Structure 1
Amino acid sequence: MRKFSLFVYSGLGIFTICVLFLCCKPIEQARATAVNKQEQSISDKLKWSERMALSIMKRHPKAWQIDYHEKPKWDYKIGMILTAYEKLYAQTKEEKYFDYIKGYADTLIDDSGNFQNFNPQDHNIDFINAGKILFGLYNKTKEKKYLTALQTLRNQFVDYPRTVSGGFWHKKIYPNQMWLDGLYMGQPFYARYTVEFEKGEKLDDVAHQFELLRNHAYDKETGLFFHAWDESKAMPWANKETGTAPHIWLRALGWYGMALVDVLDYFPKDHPKQKQLVAYLNELASGVSKYQDVSGLWYQVPNLPNRAGNYLEASGSSMLVYAIAKGVHKGYLPKAMNKIALKGFNGLTTKLIKVDDNGELHITQVCASAGLGGNPYRDGSFEYYMSEKIKVDNSHGLGAFLLAAIELDK
């Protein structure tokens, strides 16, 4: 009898424990879900820069996945985004931002400093841009592979094809052409490398690239710059008298402005070309300010705002905000111009940035890509610039917005 009672008692005990376990499990799951949701939610109390940076990392745990790449690629757009993460890391000291940068470099560069899928004879100036992250990685870690990779990119300029007047071709496949885009892709890297490793001996060459496009792509009528210049005037898109592209493209203006403020970081004030570059920046800022929309943004083709199909574009607007804000903060531009940058940033956050239920930021109305020539052929017409896809969260917009938000410290 005692044995039976003990058995019943034990059975009831086990039953009670099971019931308690089953009752508690949904409670624990609910708590875990709540905690997980809280961890995933991005606080609107953070600055715009961190909100965007965390949004990108949430969607793309590895930086090479940005733009939904299926395979790792050394990419100029990701390079722009990660230069913004460098600035954010310097501001916040949050190691997760540094690790995001390092993870990208370590995926694409092996232990000997060799780039994945790199042919030095391709001579593509876009490939240089992401190399800017290697300076910080080398300075912090002193790992030789980063120095080797830096040297590899620097050596690209040794035999890189040039126009007769000394300008770097945009790419080997675009002979005799200089695009405003290319100034941002190559010159900030070239300037920093020559200052840090060569006592600045190539700064004149850096400045010469800007001189050529200022002298040949500047449009006196609008005070803006055409997208590109073909020195040979042989391309079907090129003006037969001037060699310029048919239209002004907003993001090209943005590339030009960012290139100027970033290379100026490495030009000493007493360098003969420093004042000239500052003058170019003032000229650009003055020019684009006349075409700023009442919203604070700029149009895809900025000098034709009323033409059917034209739209307010996010990446170029963000780039100009960054260039003007940094120009003011560095003392290159008049303080009054900060109003233009602030108005532009307000336009971005109220018109083109969307926030989802988890607090993630999304940037809308980003031109996916635009160029000249190639196959299929891009003729540089107004209709062509309107025909390019408009995307949400395209990396051109993500990187430029991050830079603008960090510069304004909003």
Structure 2
Amino acid sequence: MKILDRYIEQLLEKSSPQMPVWNIEKIKEGKESTWNYMDGCMIKAILELYHITKKEEYLTFADNFIDYFVSEDGSIKSYDPNEHNLDHVNAGKTLFDLYKLTGKEKYRKAIDTVYSQLKTQPRTSTGNFWHKAIYPNQIWLDGLYMAQPFYMQYELTYNEGKNCLDSFQQFLNVYSLMRDLRNGLYYHAYDDSRESFWCDKVTGLSDNFWLRALGWYAMALIDTMEVMPEETLGAEKKELNRIYKELIDSMLPYQDEKTGMWYQVVNRGGIRPNYLETSGSAIFAYAIMKSVRLGFLEENYFQYGRKAFDGICSTYLSEENGELQLDGICLVAGLGNKEMREGTFDYYMREPIVKNEAKGVAPLILAYIEILFRGEE
């Protein structure tokens, strides 16, 4: 897959902390980049590339990128923990690795800065973190990925595991509240107060099964399980593994036979203008292949992840004017207090489809790394 090596080099050459080419949201806004989850996804992927290739340029890029935002006292440029936005926790995951690799004390301090947000994050009646302060009482699947792997890792590394069961319980609550018993898929979001215009007034749930949200949830499970020690959290890890395997088994019937990808609205593949979407498909490719490597799924599952990876590359990775382009990426989708984000099928079709955006690029790199782990290309 030398083509992917070339693609990664192309992206890094053109990117700086102030203006990374993969942050299409900021580019469209014409604004300098801030501390955000998209860059967090990319830097995490670049650090994983460093670990498997040992190429110093990857570590140097990641270190320079995060160093730009982190001050010596551990404060983070453009990040306010009191905004209580779970998305902003995601980039904090890179700090654990960078602190270990570089020994920079400011990274250790910055880890505490990010954790300070979780200590005061508002919660639903079930004890789950609100997705954002501006979205009161709401749980989004996205938020499990943004916060829980960081939360679990912090607890185990710096807090003697005191709140590990809190993290575990938040997953159990999502399993009981947001999973459709008929097909095993999860709805994008849940409003504990039942007050949002987009939610069902009886269940509190949004209307649809959005691919990338399901992907974030799958990554949340696998990345959280990865750091959980068998000796102290073995039973909890086993339960999350059961939930995770159920999710993957529920997704497989919806995998496109030809490409191995999944549709933007997962269970409505035959309805136009639904489309095979890159980011969510790449996330599942990564999650499935990684969970086989870590022993959370049997070996025979690997083929489903590999098929999705190959399908993305053949369907959406192409060359234009001497440069590689990854297409088919949904820019953003959410359930906001703006009525245009109402969570209908039409809404998920309306959101822009873009190229070379981090939410598609980063998981494709992570999936590629899983192939490298096996010595395959």
TM over 0.5: yes
Matched, 1:162 2:129: no
Task: Judge conservation of contact 1:72–1:108 (CA < 8 Å) in 2.
Answer: no
Q: 1:116-127 maps to which residues of 2 (within 5 A)? A: 116-127=77-88
Matched, 1:260 2:240: no
Query: How many residues of Structure 1 are paired with residues of Structure 2 in the alignment?
Result: 364
Deviation string 1:143-181 (CA, Å, 9 cap, x unpaired) is 221111100111111111000110000000111110000
| Secondary structure of residue in 2 paired with 1:315 | helix
1:291 matched residue in structure 2: 254
Distance in 1, matches of 2:144 and 2:6, equals: 29
| Secondary structure of residue in 1 paired with 2:314 | helix
2:12 matched residue in structure 1: 57
Shift of residue 408, structure 1, vs aligned partner? 2.0
Give the residue type in structure 2 aligned to 1:305: G
Superposition RMSD in Å: 1.5
Residue in structure 1 matching 2:332, options 357, 369, 372:
369
Distance in 2, matches of 1:224 and 1:199, equals: 34
Residue in structure 1 matching 2:308, options 324, 344, 348:
344
Shift of residue 61, structure 1, vs aligned partner? 4.5
Distance in 2, matches of 1:327 and 1:241, equals: 35
Deviation string 1:349-396 (CA, Å, 9 cap, x unpaired) is 1111113454x4321010000000223541100000000000011111
Task: Judge conservation of contact 1:63–1:103 (CA < 8 Å) in 2.
Answer: no
Distance in 1, matches of 2:315 and 2:33, equals: 32
Distance in 2, matches of 1:46 and 1:81, equals: 19
Residue in structure 1 matching 2:240, options 277, 300, 314:
277
Matched, 1:131 2:107: no
Distance in 2, matches of 1:370 and 1:288, equals: 20
Shift of residue 53, structure 1, vs aligned partner? 2.0
Residue in structure 1 matching 2:361, options 398, 402, 405:
398
Deviation string 1:253-300 (CA, Å, 9 cap, x unpaired) is 110011111001111224131111001110111011010001111000
| Secondary structure of residue in 2 paired with 1:104 | helix
| Secondary structure of residue in 1 paired with 2:20 | helix
Shift of residue 62, structure 1, vs aligned partner? 4.5
Structure 2: gaps spanning 5 or more residues: none
| Secondary structure of residue in 1 paired with 2:49 | helix
Distance in 1, matches of 2:306 and 2:72, equals: 44
Matched, 1:194 2:158: no
Give the residue type in structure 1 aligned to 2:263: Y
Matched, 1:387 2:342: no
1:306 matched residue in structure 2: 270
Matched, 1:236 2:192: no
Give the residue type in structure 2 aligned to 1:82: I
Distance in 2, matches of 1:236 and 1:229, equals: 12
Give the residue type in structure 2 aligned to 1:220: L
Shift of residue 111, structure 1, vs aligned partner? 2.2
Q: 1:172-251 maps to which residues of 2 (within 5 A)? A: 172-251=133-212
Task: Judge conservation of contact 1:269–1:275 (CA < 8 Å) in 2.
Answer: no
Distance in 2, matches of 1:366 and 1:176, equals: 29
What percentage of aligned pairs have identical amino acids? 37
| Secondary structure of residue in 1 paired with 2:2 | coil
Give the residue type in structure 2 aligned to 1:51: R
Distance in 2, matches of 1:58 and 1:119, equals: 30
Distance in 2, matches of 1:138 and 1:65, equals: 22
Task: Judge conservation of contact 1:352–1:363 (CA < 8 Å) in 2.
Answer: yes
Deviation string 1:179-216 (CA, Å, 9 cap, x unpaired) is 00000000111111111112222211111111111111
CA 1:51/1:220 → structure 2, altered by over 3 Å: closer, same or farther?
farther
Distance in 2, matches of 1:54 and 1:311, equals: 29
2:2 matched residue in structure 1: 46
Distance in 2, matches of 1:212 and 1:53, equals: 38
Give the residue type in structure 1 aligned to 2:148: Q
Residue in structure 2 matching 1:321, options 274, 282, 285:
285
1:19 matched residue in structure 2: none
Give the residue type in structure 2 aligned to 1:263: T
| Secondary structure of residue in 1 paired with 2:230 | coil
Distance in 2, matches of 1:64 and 1:264, equals: 33
Structure with higher Rg: it is 1
Distance in 2, matches of 1:306 and 1:381, equals: 16
Task: Judge conservation of contact 1:363–1:392 (CA < 8 Å) in 2.
Answer: yes
Distance in 1, matches of 2:328 and 2:210, equals: 15
Deviation string 1:287-342 (CA, Å, 9 cap, x unpaired) is 11010001111000010011111000000000011111111111111211111111
Structure 1: gaps spanning 5 or more residues: 1-44
Q: Which runs of 4+ in 1 moved over 3 A?
A: 61-64
Distance in 1, matches of 2:79 and 2:36, equals: 12
Shift of residue 91, structure 1, vs aligned partner? 1.0
1:94 matched residue in structure 2: 55
Distance in 1, matches of 2:250 and 2:67, equals: 41
Distance in 1, matches of 2:316 and 2:224, equals: 29
Give the residue type in structure 1 aligned to 2:6: R
Task: Judge conservation of contact 1:369–1:388 (CA < 8 Å) in 2.
Answer: yes
